[in-house]
Amino acid sequence: METYKEFTFEAAHKLEPYSGLHGHSFKVSVHLVGEPDPVFGWAANLYEVEKQIDAIHGILDHTYLNDIEGLSVPSLENLAKWIFDKLAEKSPALDRVELKRGAEGQAEGCIYRRREAA
């Protein structure tokens, strides 16, 4: 069983030497897997996951990502891993984080999976 929760945030960044200061709408999909609860069937209670997501949203939304600790180089890949690591601290069922930026049909993104964590 796999459960997911999406959230979005707006943020600015730069990635020298490839891009100067500019902004994006980011979309994040948080996926959770595990043994289903015998009563509710879920591997993770979204009510609990949403609390963790709200905390991360509060750190990222309407910010300059380069200024956030651990995000001085805010590529898609580093940002997906940063979100994964923050959520994994309190969400043992976390399996992967999918991160996208850009309009539907033109989006670019990356997926960070638990098994990549060393």
Ligand X SMILES: Nc1nc2c(c(=O)[nH]1)N=C([C@H](O)[C@H](O)COP(=O)(O)OP(=O)(O)OP(=O)(O)O)CN2
From the annotation, which residues make up the binding site for Zn(2+)?
A: 13, 22, 24
How do the residues of the chain divide into helix, strand and coil, expressed in percent and rounded to 5? 30, 40, 35
**Which residues are CB-contacts of 10 (< 8 A; sequence separation ≥ 6)?**
23, 24, 25, 26, 61, 62
Q: Which residues bind ligand X (CB under 6 A)?
A: 15, 18-19, 22, 75-77, 102
- State the minimum distance, in angstroms, from the CB of residue 76 to ligand X: 4
The owner of tokens 């709408």 is 25
Least distance from C-beta 16 to ligand X, angstroms? 9
For ligand X, the closer CB: 18 or 40: 18
Question: Nearest distance from residue 22's CB to ligand X, in Å?
Answer: 5
